[in-house]
Amino acid sequence: MTKKNKKSSVLKGPRLPAPDTSRHLLGIADLPKARIEFLLDAARALRLSMEAGQVPPLLQGKTIVNLFYENSTRTRMSFEVAVRRLGGSLLNFAAGGSSVQKGETLLDTAKNILALSAHGLVIRHASSGSPGFLARHVSIPVINAGDGFHEHPTQALLDAFTIREKLGALAGKRVLILGDIAHSRVARSNIHLLRKMGAKVAVCGPPTLLPPNVGALKCERAFRPEELLPRADVVMALRIQFERQNFARQVPSKSEYASIWGLSAARGKLLKKDAILLHPGPINRGLEIDPQVADGPHSLVLDQVSNGVAVRMAVLASLVNPDGLHTFLTTKKRSPKDKR
C-alpha cells in the first residue's frame, strides 16, 4: 500500500484534527502543570467567595448541559450545584428515558442539545474517548465527567485540592492508590496529576486488577497494602469497578479480596497519625474499605464531595467565561488564605 493509499484507508477513516485541549477539559494527561495550579488556586478563591456569601455570577446567561450516559450521584449533582452557584442554568440529560433508547447516536444527541443554545457540555460515558470525540465536533467547551477506564479529570483535581487543603503542597507527598487500578479512570487521572505535581505515587492491588502495562504508570508498586500503608501521607482507596469487568475471573471471591487487599480496621491502624484517606465514592463498605476506616479520623471522603463544587466552579468558569474568571481573580480583595 502506498503512503497515499494508507491515509485514505477506509478502516482508518478521515483523520480529524485533534481537539484543542485548552478549550476543553478532556483529561489530566494533556493538562500543563501551570494550568492545574491555576485551577486549584481559582477553586480556592471561589470557595472563599462562597464562604463569604459573595459568589461572582460568572455563568449568568449561560446554559450548561449535563450529558450523563452512566450512573452518577456525586459528580452530576456537584456540576449542578456548581452551575447554579455561578448563576448559570442547567439542562440535565440522563440517557435512560431519552431518545438514546430509540437508537439516537451520541453525536446526534449532542448536536440537538446544542441547537438549544448551550454554552458548555459536561459528559460522562462508558466509552473511553467519547468526550474527545464530541470535542472534535462541537463548538463549545466539553468537560469530561468520566469516560470508561480512561480519565476523570475533575475527580483528580478535587482530590488534589483536598490534599493541598489538608497537607499543603503536593510535591514530595507519598500517595498510595489501593485497589482496582486497571479499570479506574480515577486512578489514571490521579496518577497523571500527582506525578506532574511532584508527588510520589505507589499503586497496590491484585495483579489481575493492575493494568497490563503497569510499568508505564511510572509508579512504585507494592505487593501488599501493609508494605506502604505506614509510610503513606495519603491513601486513596478505590471501588472495584464491577461494571467494567468479569470480577469472578479476576479475584477468587469478594471475601478473599477484602481479607488481602481491603482497608480493614487492622490495616487502618497502620496509618500515620496525620495521614489522610480519600475515596471517590460510591463506597463498597466491608469490601475495599471497612466502615470504621471509611468513617474514621483519617477519612476526608465528605470533604472531597464539598471540595468538588469549588473545583467544578473553577473548571466551568475557566472554560465558559475565562475573561470573567480572570477579572474576578485579579480584582477581588486579596486574602492571606488565597494562595498555598
User: Taking CB under 6 A as the rule, does residue 87 contact ligand NCD?
Assistant: no
User: Taking CB under 6 A as the rule, does residue 148 contact ligand NCD?
Assistant: no
> Looking at beta carbons only, is 79 or 328 nearer to ligand NCD?
79
| Among 24, 85, 173, 185, interactor with ligand NCD by CB under 6 A | 185
Q: How far is the CB of 74 from ligand NCD (least distance, A)?
A: 4
Using CB under 6 A, count the residues that bind ligand NCD. Answer: 10
Distance CA 58, CA 74 (A): 22
Q: How far is the CB of 214 from ligand NCD (least distance, A)?
A: 19
Q: How far is the CB of 140 from ligand NCD (least distance, A)?
A: 22
Give the E-state strand segments of the chain in sequence order. Answer: 63-68, 89-94, 120-125, 142-147, 174-178, 200-204, 220-222, 234-237, 276-278
| Among 19, 56, 280, 324, interactor with ligand NCD by CB under 6 A | 280
User: Taking CB under 6 A as the rule, does residue 75 contact ligand NCD?
Assistant: yes
User: Taking CB under 6 A as the rule, does residue 281 contact ligand NCD?
Assistant: yes
Residue nearest to ligand NCD (CB): 239
Q: How far is the CB of 11 from ligand NCD (least distance, A)?
A: 31
Peptide bond into 282 cis (omega under 30): yes
| Among 119, 164, 239, 298, interactor with ligand NCD by CB under 6 A | 239
Distance CA 205, CA 184 (A): 12
The residues, ordered by sequence, that sit 6+ positions from 89 with a Cβ below 8 Å of its Cβ are 62, 63, 64, 83
> Looking at beta carbons only, is 119 or 185 nearer to ligand NCD?
185
Counts for the chain of helices (H) and strands (E), in that order: 14, 9
Residue 153: which of 75, 42, 91, 205 has the closest Cα? 75
Distance CA 321, CA 181 (A): 35
User: Taking CB under 6 A as the rule, does residue 155 contact ligand NCD?
Assistant: yes
CA atoms 19, 24, 28, 34: torsion sign: positive
C-beta of residue 157 within 8 angstroms of C-beta of residue 39: yes
> Looking at beta carbons only, is 69 or 133 nearer to ligand NCD?
69
| CA distances to 15, 24, 146, 289 from 18, in Å | 9, 12, 19, 40
User: Taking CB under 6 A as the rule, does residue 146 contact ligand NCD?
Assistant: yes
User: Taking CB under 6 A as the rule, does residue 152 contact ligand NCD?
Assistant: yes
Which spans of this chain sit near ligand NCD (rule: CB under 6 A)? 74-75, 146, 152, 155, 185-186, 239, 280-281
